[in-house]
Structure 1
Amino acid sequence: MTARAGGGGQGDARVEELLAAVRDGEAARMPGLLEPLDAAARKAALARLKELRAEVRAGKWATPPYHPNRIRSALYVAGAGCHPTAAAAASWLGARDLLIWEEDKVLALEVLGDRDPEWAADLAGRLAKRRTAAENSYPLLHGLMVRSGYRVPPTDGYVTGWAWHITDDRLVERLREDPQTPVLVAHALAMAEPPERLARSLGRRPERYWPFALRTLVEEGILDRAQILDVCVSRLLRGGPIRNLRLPLEMVRLLAPDAEELRQRIPDWVGIAAEAPSLVAGYAQDVLVELASAELLPVGALAEMTAGVLFRTEKKLVRAQLALVGKVLAREPGAAGELLPAVTEAFASEDTDVQERALKLVGRHLPAVDAEVRRELAEAAGLLGPTHRQAAEELFGADLEQEARLPYEEILPPVPEPQRLAPAATTVEELMAQLVVRRLAEEPAAFERALDGLVRHAHADRAAVAEAVREAFPRPRWEQEPHYFTHETHGVHVVLAGLLGVLDPALVDVRRTQGHGSVACLHQALSGVLDARLWEAAGLVGTAALPFLLATPTWHTGAIDPLVLVDRLREYRDAGVEPAPTDLAQALVRVLRADPSAERAAEEAAALGTEPGRRLAAWLRGEATAARAVQGAAADEPVPSATADEPVPSASGGGAVADAASVGATVRFLQRDEDRTLRRLWLADRLVVGIDEHPAVRAEFPPAFQWLGGALEATPRRCTHWIEGRAQWSTVLPADREVFAACLLPTLTSSTEGDSRGTTEPLTALVEAEGPVGRAVLLALAFGLGCVDADDRLRAVDAVLVLAARGELDARGLGAELAWLVAEGSVKPNRLADAARTAAATGAYGTVWAVLAAMLPELLAAAKPVRGLGEVLAVAADCVERCGAVGEVSGLGASASGRGSSQLVVQAKRLLGALRQGVDQPPTETV
């Protein structure tokens, strides 16, 4: 660093001038103010800058006329010029709380103009290793690289920033001009998640399309063709989501490798065909088919490829592979001994058509193999289901081992055991560690434990907790902008803001007491309970009025042990504290009324001699509850039209489930058009959930809970929009899962169309909750089984199996709901078949069959054949073959007697035959 004259007092004056400019947020003045300062003056200025940064973090400069973001910009630039070492400068420039504007990076580069090349290169390398800093600091890093003459090591962050800045209409020219292009391109193509600019589709600006630009550079020799091919093929081999593989796949397609280039990478293509997503695997299979047609694919590689592809579930890929093996064997009969064992991988396929094709292929070339291979093939044939058992016996004869017919055992998952919520953090340090983790918003149990700890510690020592919060959250948006909470809250942060005293008291009073109007949907109703509870805590945290929370769950489901709640109310009474209204209401809704200790708890609560104790006793004894009625129209029963503001009586009039200890919910579906093909288009925004009359809730509960009392002015009538769920919803109603399920239905109806993801996450909590299983729960499961997303369907499958393991699954009721939803088009048969197949594969063939047996009669009797029903019949037939069920299915005989070889006819015949053969099956056992 070049020495400059400090001049004692003159240097102090210049430091003060610099600091004043920083406080005024004048980042553009920093280069000029730093230039005359020597090393000593900059060291002194740096100490003052650190103090100012701490003050900004603590919110001391957050009110007008100051502008915290402008101050941070000035701090960013000034600190860059004052740090003597590259390591310290990198720590300052890479800090999250100082990453502000693009022009700040240019100014920082200017104040670093006097540093030597090695220092600049060291700083650039350190920043490049910090992904967020590198992504947002490309102009600074690039400038340091150019100035130093060194090259920045390629990192994900630097490459992402580089791609963002050079993507424009001159993309090809910019890539030509950059000497690091070959290295950076190779890194970008190999990234697990390529930069967004590289992965963009062609769109209307082809000059900005990276694959076209890279192909041009390959053709010009700027990029090495063999290296680009190697990098792209290796990236495809590593796999991952298809969105991250489109770029390397497109590059390979555009480069159009010749036969020799493809042959050199045969092992990679074999691995890709076996493991990659369907689109990529299909391309790899096409490549290998091309090589096989040119007789460039070794038999060993084809056998390895066949075993991998036949293990996949995509019918198109599997059938194409069997066809390829058949062509090769027709040309090279001597390869049968090596290829046929790989073909037997298809014997374990869930598709009976695939099993049949594989068995015929083996039978066609069986004479060409020796005795040892024949025995191996016969042993593999034992995997075939009953449908092809006779054909396998005719083919292999005595070589096919006859298995003993053991009693069928139904396998269901173990019933989840309730997990006790861990005690609150014992120290403030442990509490802060809980509060800063991101999973707090995703794990209800962690959220409740942290909230409980915050309230308890703040009651004991508010000042200490407040100071710890300021240190743990150096630059919280909720502290700089209190209006952040006017529309939504983000978990426990609103309580932290209340603890620090940065919330408007009037706003707190409004948010803690507000209810929902008649236009509110169930999403807002659930969130309203959460928000009211948080805002109430925000107003009382750290005061004598809130020593601890009554509503903290006992169990991970959100439920509260009745005796535990009695003890908490006793502590409140002894301390002379009146419970907070929302906290008490949430505690009552969470308490387990069906617990064996409920009656004893009711007696002890009444003996407390307090109003909260009286309310708890009445709640536990069912005196403050109403009957539940969850009703709705069946698929073939039209529902009368109605206005948006008027509830509609159930057309079926049945399906009521009595429960004297629960809040009531009525699920209704309105329709204005009898055409079922149109009904699904507006099913989600025409679903109405009415809440039964509950006078005690309306009289004694705060506004946020009024909707549970059925008050006309407060009950959510319908949902007209889709909203992302909140994990804490699952713990609002842990003792009334039918009402909770009704609240989930608007979101779940949307999950069967579009690209929604994660909508079935609450189903796990739903089936682990308490309360009877009625129509709302069954509908929630039915919609979940028909979700677009495979992971959502898998969660729904798990929920169904857990409910069955608990002995609470109404299989016939679920089948009836599925029949209606499939018939009217909301649930696609192929998705339902996938979910049912997954459930059956766990060993729950009997359970799945019980559901499908109740569903099939209505669909088989439909005037117009249900497209895709053959897939469902295939799963049903497999279940019957495995569990040995018997009986009659209305309409099955008519479908089985149809002509042709459609899947519907073939699988109907298979199911009919299995039901008739089941009479001879051994008895069923359940484990």
Structure 2
Amino acid sequence: MSGEALVRAVRAGQTVEAAGHLDGMTDAERRTCLPALKELRKELRTAQWSESSRKAYPALHAAGAACHTGAAGAATWIASADMRWSQASPGVFLRVLGDREPAWLGDVAHRLAERPVTSRISYALLSGLVQLSGCEVPITDAYVEGWFEHIGSTWHRGGTVVERLRQEPHLARMIAALFDSLDVTSRVAWLFGDGPGSWYNALAELAGEGTLDREVLVDACVARLLRGGAPADQRVFLKLLTCLDLSRDEERERSADWIALASQATSTVAWHAQSVLASLALADELTPRQLAEMSSGVLFRTEKKLVRAQLVLLGRTLRRDPSTAGELLPAVAQAFGHEDTEVQERALKLVERHVAGPDVPEGVREQLVKKAAELSPGVRIHAERLLGAEALSAAPVIHVEVLPPVPERARLAPAPASAAELAEEVGALLASGGDVAAFERTLDGLVRQAYDDRDGLVEALRPVVARRWWIDADPHYPNVDTYFREAPYGLEVVLATLLGHVRTDTLHAAVQQGTTRGGCRHAALSRAFDARLWEVAHRILVEPLPFLLATPTWGTGLLEPEELVARLSAYRRLDTRPGTADFAQSLLRVRRDDRATAEAAAGRARALGTPEGYRLAQWLTAEGPDLPLSRRRTSGVRILLELGELEELQGQFPSEFRGLGRPLSVFKDRWYCPHWDQSDRQHWSAVAPGRRELVAARVLDDLSSVAVDDSRRGAAILPLLAEADGEAGEALHLCLAYGLGARHTEDRLSAVDALLVLAARGQLDAGRLGGDLGQLVRRGAVKPLRLAESIRTAAATGAYATVWSVLRETLPILLADLSTDATIGTPARGLGDLLAVAADCAERTGARGDVAHLAQAAGRRGSSKLVTQARRLRTALSQGVAA
């Protein structure tokens, strides 16, 4: 009867009464209660957020743990995700479990502590179990993080952090765990705070009074900084190290560590290490060899602040002790290979001041000559005069442009032959997203296997899709049919249909009515892509297809006309009705640029005698592919494009495909955009292969946002567009211009990749791109500093001539804004950096000629970066230096 009373108390949410029933129960009696508690748990899951469920869960949580007599079962029950939102309190758990053996309690404590932090096991419960059992403290992420939050957040207990730390019996071990953990630090860093009552000062005070071993704490901080990690983590350990206030002896003992940190650590840590080493060097507590070793690492860093500070330190040391020139001048020469020519010039001037000194050994000049070969051509002229290195200019190297290999079309492999192989492909595609080729061959494979052996395919797919939400849909998720009526979500609608989770009428409505999602600029592309997926899923249920007509021949989405004719012929033999959307997609994909091949295929298509054969023949013999007329429009600082109508995509095409040829307006197509998930965008260029301008115009606003609004990942489509087929026109070049001025590094790198691919294919219009960049910078849509970083990255790959051809068109537009009066006109921030890249390209390629308005910029007063680099570019263009 006690078991029945326990279940009634749990169902009523009477936690105290349930705990009373558990008192005095034997292990056997508790085990007999488990089946009823598990059944109640299943029942509560169906209405997890109802009032009765929320009321019963805490009592069920405690009772279920107490009725498990095995430590593993009890720990699993306590950590269950379904009871995480309505847990029993730690005090209740400690009461109902407190009569167990200490070894059992310690086992449960360690099992719970080993759970991921996301399991959200209460630290009060963990520490209570540890205290009851007397077991060793578990050093896991969950326990350590819980301990730090317990010490740092429980202000209601009174006292300061340092006072609470003094009361902790396991203080040294927990602090050591902080340094050893890779994951805890970033999650507890927010607790450390600042000021007198912070963790930093508390730990420093405890180290000062001997409660913590100071030397161990210092060594741990330095070791963690040497290990590296996220900048937020590094700041925690650096701040703690600073609060420990190392003595000069402690700093000197760790000279090797500071040298390693100055060379390899994050900027903030490297700056601290450099300042410590500088102090040691200026106090003659760092040997010239150590300073040279430090310089060899720091002078290769990209942070100009660190590099310049290092050159200043080397200069001060050389002035104080000229006898160090033999070891330090070769170290200075390490900066000759720096990407910034200003750094090269600073290093060369430093060499110039000391190379003629009496303390410079004979062999040093030879070392400097060898390093001078790494100087940029303009700076190298000065080095030749300084070092007398005639060999540097005796045989100038003619610039050879380095561009990536031209991407070759990759033919699609046949669809997987077996259901098991296809299931593996599906699993990989669901995990990674795949590309056009992987998606299309997998989709075709699903259609083929469903036609041949649907039951076998379903069995093979079950383990692959077992974790998809719609397999065992939670009642709190949207209805599966509603979900797939809004969008097909790639292959998911096909997979859910195969496994019987989408109704026929839902798919029929989707095929007949199309998408229910917005009228944004992307809608034409997404509707065409989605329509085919809905149709494939619908036909699997009502009229399976033997294979798909529109599966492309090539990875770019193009379909060879002979293959399409052969597929239509097979359809006729099998008496199969083609899918409307699939056939429309096949027409858009069929290649028509080879007129002889297209006309020959048209004759064979016409001979089939089917409506689709006649339609294909008509399509193949028509002129195309055509592009609509476009015109520029401005919207704020943006330059966007509007497209006119494309008549050949109207007429006999289904409604979901006609949008591709309809006018595109800048100011009308501003409805809510549901295409926040960019996984489908990689397929858009394959919807209309050969017409990438249609795609580029529809993603142009997204590309403008990566520069104007600092959005992220919008430029990921650029390399795909660069590799796609079709004309590279106004829309694509505007997209590229915005991408080069993107806020985030990954977007700028995508734009650089696209720039190089277009150049390698001979499709880059440098004049158009340069002009677009100039106009966008003038309007404020693109920041010169970001553009300089992108364009410098492109040049550094070896594409100096390509970059110069673009900048030659950009610079006149930007320089025109500078007044001929050197006292008037404020240049845009970053223009000097653009001029530096241009000068480097001109020097390396031997470019000659004149750039409009460059002379006025070079004639301005002062020695700003803009003026210095303008003069350098003017000199390079007048001398035609070649590297």
| TM-score, length-scaled by structure 1 | 0.80
Q: Which runs of 5+ in 1 are unaligned?
A: 1-9, 624-659, 672-678, 923-927
Quote how far apart the aligned CAs of 1:853 are: 1.0
Deviation (angstroms), 1:551: 4.1
> 1 CA distance for matches of 2:198 and 2:573?
72
**Pair 1:907 & 2:859 matched:** no
Q: Which amino acid in the other structure matches residue 183 of structure 1?
A: R
Relative to structure 2, which stretch is displaced further, 409-418 or 520-529? 520-529
- Residue 708 of structure 1: aligned partner: 660
Q: Residues 473, 373 of structure 1: CA spacing in aligned structure 2 closer, same or farther, 3 A cutoff?
A: same
Determine helix, strand or coil for the equivalent of 2:632: strand
**Post-superposition shift, 1:370?**
0.8
User: Helix, strand or coil: the match of 1:409?
Assistant: coil
Q: What is the letter of the counterpart of residue 697 of structure 1? A: L
What's the offset of the Cα at 1:247? Answer: 2.4
Q: Specify the SS of the correspondent of 2:240.
A: helix
CA distance, structure 1, for counterparts of residue 47 and residue 513 of structure 2:
29
**Counterparts of 1:266 and 1:748 in 2: how far apart (Å)?**
48
Note the C-alpha offset of 1:41: 7.8
What corresponds to 2:763 in structure 1? 808
Give the alignment partner of residue 324 of structure 1, picking from 302, 313, 316.
Answer: 313
AA paired with 1:273? A
Alpha-carbon distance in structure 1 between the residues aligned to 2:733 and 2:271: 38
Instruction: State whether residues 833 and 865 of structure 2, in contact with CA within 8 Å, keep that contact through their aligned partners in structure 1.
Output: yes
Match of residue 742 from structure 1: 697
Inter-CA distance 412–696: structure 2 relative to 1 (3 Å threshold): closer
Q: Contact between 1:445 and 1:556, CA under 8 Å: does it hold in 2?
A: yes
Further displaced range: 506-515 or 75-84: 75-84
**Is this contact kept in 2: 1:378–1:399, CA < 8 A?**
no
Asked whether the equivalents of residues 54 and 86 of structure 2 are also in contact (C-alpha less than 8 Å), the reply is no
Structure-2 change in CA distance of 1:239 and 1:63 (3 Å): closer
Bigger mean CA offset, 224-233 vs 413-422:
224-233
2:432 corresponds to 1:440 = yes
2:813 counterpart of 1:858:
yes
Between 1:20-29 and 1:740-749, the stretch displaced more is: 20-29
Match of 1:885 in 2: 847
Match of 1:413 in 2: 404
Distance (whole Å) between structure 1 residues aligned to residue 49 and residue 715 of structure 2: 45
1:300 is displaced (CA, Å) by 2.5
Deviating more after overlay: 107-116 vs 476-485: 107-116
Q: Is the 8 A contact 1:757 1:789 kept in 2?
A: yes
Residue of structure 1 equivalent to 2:739: 784
Distance 1:523 1:232 in 2: 51
Of 165, 177, 187 in structure 1, the residue corresponding to residue 177 of structure 2 is 187
Structure 1 residue 322, shift from structure 2 partner: 0.4
Q: Distance in 1 between matches of 2:317 and 2:307?
A: 16
Q: Are 2:712 and 1:757 aligned?
A: yes
Secondary structure at 1:814 match in 2? helix
Specify the code of the residue in structure 2 equivalent to 1:302: L
CA distance in 2, matches of 1:48, 1:540: 46
Change in CA separation of 1:210 and 1:888 when aligned onto 2, cut-off 3 Å:
same
Tell me what 2:646 maps to: 694
Matched, 1:382 2:378: no
Q: State the AA in 2 paired with 1:496.
A: L
Partner of 1:306: 295
Matched residue of 1:670: which SS? Answer: strand
Which one scores higher on RCO, CA 8 angstroms, separation ≥ 6? 1
1:874 aligns with 2:859: no
Post-superposition Cα deviations, 1:346-368, rounded to whole Å, max 9, x if no partner, equal 11122222111111211222222
Tell me the alpha carbon deviations over residues 48-85 of structure 1, each in whole angstroms, 9 at most, x when there is no partner. 999999x99xx996999999999999998787567665
- What residue number does 1:263 align with? 252
- Give 3-state SS (helix, strand or coil) of 1:285's partner: helix
Identity %: 45
Partner of 1:364: 353
- In structure 2, what is the Cα distance between the partners aligned to 1:720 and 1:207? 50
Deviates more, 1:467-476 or 1:711-720: 711-720
Matched, 1:198 2:188: yes
Among candidates 770, 775, 780, match of residue 820 of structure 1 = 775
User: 1:148 corresponds to which residue?
Assistant: 133
Q: 2:153 aligns with which of 145, 162, 168?
A: 168
Residues 633 and 666 of structure 2 are in contact (CA less than 8 Å); yes or no, is this contact kept in structure 1? no
Output the amino acid matched with 1:609.
G
The answer (yes or no) to whether the contact 1:884–1:921 under 8 Å persists in 2 is yes
Residue type of the partner of 2:479?
A: H
User: C-alpha displacement at 1:661, in angstroms?
Assistant: 0.2
Supply the distance in 2 between the matched residues of 1:346 and 1:420 (Cα, whole angstroms): 48
Q: 1:103 aligns with which of 60, 80, 87?
A: 87
C-alpha contact (below 8 Å) 2:526/2:684 kept by paired residues: no
Partner of 1:353: 342
Q: Give, in whole Å, the separation in 2 of the partners of 1:394 and 1:713.
A: 61
Supply the distance in 1 between the matched residues of 2:463 and 2:615 (Cα, whole angstroms).
42
Q: Give CA-to-partner distance per residue, 1:592-620, whole Å, 9 cap, x none.
A: 44367544444444444334444444444
- The 1:267–1:518 alpha-carbon spacing in structure 2 relative to 1, beyond 3 Å, is same
Shift of 1:804: 0.9
Deviation at 1:445, TM superposition (A): 4.4
Partner amino acid, structure 1, of 2:609: G
1:890 deviates by 1.6
Give ranges in structure 2 of 5+ residues lacking alignment: 819-824
C-alpha separation between the residues in 1 aligned to 2:813 and 2:304? 28
Distance 1:578 1:893, change over 3 A: same
Distance across 2 between alignment mates of 1:161 and 1:719:
47
The question of whether the paired residues in 2 share the 8 Å contact of 1:520 and 1:716 is answered with: no
Cα 1:523–1:258 shift into 2, 3 Å = farther
1:312-331, CA deviations, whole angstroms, 9 ceiling, x for partnerless residues? 12222211110011111112
Question: How far apart are residue 393 of structure 1 and its match?
Answer: 2.2
Letter in 2 for 1:777: L
Q: Deviations over 1:270-311 (max 9, x none)?
A: 222222233332232223223333333332322122111111
Alignment equivalent of 2:682, drawn from 730, 737, 758: 730
SS at match of 2:747: helix
After superposition, residues 67-146 of structure 1 pair within 5 angstroms as: 86=71, 100-101=84-85, 103=87, 115-131=100-116, 141-146=126-131
| Pairing 1:54-69 to 2, within 5 Å after superposition | none
Report whether the alignment pairs 1:394 with 2:385. yes
Q: Spell out, residue by residue over 1:658-708, the C-alpha distance to the aligned partner (whole angstroms, 9 max, x if none).
A: xx304537363334xxxxxxx33xx3xxx6554432345344444443421
SS at match of 1:668: strand
Q: Distance in 1 between matches of 2:615 and 2:739?
A: 37
Query: How far apart, in 1, do the equivalents of 2:29 and 2:608 lie?
Result: 70
CA drift of 1:851 comes to 0.9
Q: What secondary structure, in the 3-state scheme, does the structure 1 residue paired with 2:153 have? A: coil
Residue 295 of structure 1 is aligned with which of 284, 288, 296? 284
Distance 2:730 2:167 in 1: 66
2:319 partner amino acid: A
Letter in 2 for 1:893: A
Is the 2:702–2:714 contact (alpha carbons within 8 Å) kept by the matching residues of 1?
yes
CA distance in 2 between counterparts of 1:369 and 1:765 reads 56
Asked if the contact 2:110/2:138 (under 8 Å) is kept, the reply is: yes
Q: How far apart are 1:742 and its partner, in Å?
A: 1.8
Distance 1:165 1:296 in 2: 44
- 1:754–1:295 CA distance, 2 compared to 1 (3 A): farther
1:24-35 mapped onto 2 (5 Å cutoff): none
Aligned to 1:609: 609
Q: 1:576 to 1:217 in 2, by over 3 A?
A: farther
The answer for the alignment partner of 2:822 in structure 1 is none
- Of 136-145 and 846-855, deviating more is 136-145
Q: Relative to structure 2, which stretch is displaced further, 692-701 or 369-378?
A: 692-701
Post-superposition shift, 1:805? 0.8
Alpha-carbon deviation of 1:588? 3.7
Q: CA deviation at 1:150?
A: 2.0
Distance 1:412 1:188, change over 3 A: same
| Superposed displacement of residue 788, structure 1 | 1.5
Q: CA deviation at 1:877?
A: 1.4
**Structure 1 residues 117 and 707, CA, compared in 2 at 3 Å: closer, same or farther?**
farther
